[in-house]
Structure 1
Amino acid sequence: MYSKLPTFFLLALLTNANDVWSQDTAAKQECSPRPTQSRLIAPTVRPEIKVLCGSNSITQNFAVPPMPTTTVASTPTNNTLQSSSTLIALISASAGVLGAFAGAFASYLVAREKAKSDIELESKRLQANVIATERLRWLQDIRQRMSTLYQQLDFQYNLLKRPVAHNQGTTTQQQLDDMSAEIMAECNMITLMLNPAKPDQAALRDAIQSALQFTQQCFQQAAVGSRNFNDHEYRTYKQAAFDAMTRLGVEAWKQVKSLS
């Protein structure tokens, strides 16, 4: 019996050792680091790694070699590509600058031409306004003077046709002289305002001169005591002057409208 006891204890020890060995192997398999897939970005190197396996803590230091750095050697092909890229960039920048400058210059030319045309148009408009204003003022002045002239002529003609008493001869003559001065002043001013090269203005001047000549003949007849004047001839000269004045006004208004 005592000889069987050592054999029994030996078998028990061997069985326990086998169990411990199998557990240790399983633990090692669970705690052993698994292979990881390679990544494009290298992880940060950690010189010390600590692994927890249940209640056990395993710390191990690793000597991690430095990550290899890839050095790209400059070759003639790379230099050519870089030079081409730089040249293309310079050409693109130059084209952009030239395009901007050309656009600004074209806008400047267009604005200058527009400003020039606007100035010319405004100058023509102002000139047309000045000419139109002066022409209308000239026409109105001639009409006013014509009205005053024939007002004096009509009054003088009617006064010559009246019989004059002996005691009123001096007074009547003074009135005739005063009216003659006013008539000659208006007639001379109208003549200076007319252009004989234009038909309508020349016709008006001739009609006024004819009326003055007829009035002088009436004075000569009144001096010898004859007061039988030709009223029809006087009305003819007067109507000729008015007709010429009307044509002159129509022509002046046409010119004014053409300027507007």
Structure 2
Amino acid sequence: MTEIELLQQIADNTSTDTNLWVAVIAASAAISGAIVTGLLQYFTESKRAKRAYKLEEKKLRANIVATERLRWLQDVRERLSKLYTHLDMQYSFLKRPGNPAQLQETLDEYSFVVMQEIHHISLLLNPEKPDQKKLKRALAVKQKILLQCFSRKSQQLTQIHDKRYALVKNIAFNSLTTIGERTWRQIKDLD
């Protein structure tokens, strides 16, 4: 048999419909495999993207909460500092000898700022939290002490409540320190 006859016989033997079906099935399997692989890859990437989105959302929320807590803490600190500056000046004026009527205008200016700051600070505090409640209470006691001092000064009495004034100031500052420590712990827990 010659080469051409051999090739013809091979062509005749392989040209059956069975071979065509084998080729169709093989191609279908390849296409199906590609589709399944693509779908698996899609779902895997979709889950990964959802996890990444949730993680980024969590980080963003934590960042916003941390920033707002720090802003709140700084605002309370600044207001308390301003308040105690005016309280100390008011208290100092009350301890000076002389007629309170001469100091009344200055005391009234300080009193206005003191009341304004106390109201601002009180509105920033959460009375459900013990340290914030303690700070709010210390501010109320401080006001009572000053009112007693005003009353004593107008009656020309010289007794001043230095120890009590210092104690209440210390309580307020310690409360704010504790509030700051707790706020920092909460911020660290967000990480």
Q: What residue in structure 2 maps to residue 241 of structure 1?
A: 172
For residue 158 of structure 1, the aligned residue among 92, 116, 137 is 92
Q: Tell me how far 1:85 sits from its aligned partner.
A: 2.6
Q: Tell me how far 1:246 sits from its aligned partner.
A: 0.3
Distance 1:137 1:93 in 2: 65
Q: What residue in structure 1 maps to residue 103 of structure 2?
A: 172
Q: Tell me how far 1:41 sits from its aligned partner.
A: 4.9
Equivalent residue letter for 1:40: T
Q: Tell me how far 1:89 sits from its aligned partner.
A: 2.1
Distance 1:90 1:171 in 2: 108
2:69 and 2:183 in contact (8 A); partners too: yes
Distance 2:29 2:3 in 1: 41
RMSD, aligned CA: 2.2
Structure with more contact order per residue of length (Cα contacts < 8 Å, sep ≥ 6):
2
Which of the pair is proportionally richer in helix?
2
Distance 2:181 2:111 in 1: 30
1:204 and 1:241 in contact (8 A); partners too: yes
Distance 1:98 1:40 in 2: 43
Which of the pair is proportionally richer in strand?
1
Query: Normalization by structure 1: what TM-score?
Result: 0.67
Q: What residue in structure 2 maps to residue 148 of structure 1?
A: 82
Identity between Structure 1 and Structure 2 (%): 38
Q: Tell me how far 1:127 sits from its aligned partner.
A: 1.3
Equivalent residue letter for 1:116: K
Equivalent residue letter for 2:107: L
Deviation string 1:216-244 (CA, Å, 9 cap, x unpaired) is 11111111111202211111100000000
1:218 and 1:229 in contact (8 A); partners too: yes
Distance 2:82 2:3 in 1: 113
2:145 and 2:165 in contact (8 A); partners too: yes
Indicate yes or no: 2:76 matched with 1:114. Answer: no
SS of the aligned residue for 1:257 comes to: helix
1:160 and 1:227 in contact (8 A); partners too: no
The structure number with the bigger radius of gyration is 1
Q: What residue in structure 1 maps to residue 150 of structure 2?
A: 219
Q: What residue in structure 2 maps to residue 87 of structure 1?
A: 21
- Structure 2 residues without counterparts, runs of 5 or longer: none
Q: What residue in structure 1 maps to residue 34 of structure 2?
A: 100
1:149 and 1:183 in contact (8 A); partners too: yes
Distance 1:238 1:181 in 2: 19
Q: 1:41 to 1:131 in 2, by over 3 A?
A: closer
SS of the aligned residue for 1:131 comes to: helix
Q: 1:41 to 1:204 in 2, by over 3 A?
A: closer
Runs of 4+ in structure 1 deviating by more than 3 angstroms, as ranges, are none
2:145 and 2:161 in contact (8 A); partners too: no
Q: What residue in structure 2 maps to residue 133 of structure 1?
A: 67
Query: Normalization by structure 2: what TM-score?
Result: 0.89
Deviation string 1:134-162 (CA, Å, 9 cap, x unpaired) is 11011011101111111111111121111
Q: 1:41 to 1:196 in 2, by over 3 A?
A: closer
Q: What residue in structure 2 maps to residue 8 of structure 1?
A: none
Q: Tell me how far 1:255 sits from its aligned partner.
A: 1.0
Q: How does 1:19-58 map to 2 (within 5 A)?
A: 40-41=2-3
Q: Tell me how far 1:100 sits from its aligned partner.
A: 0.1
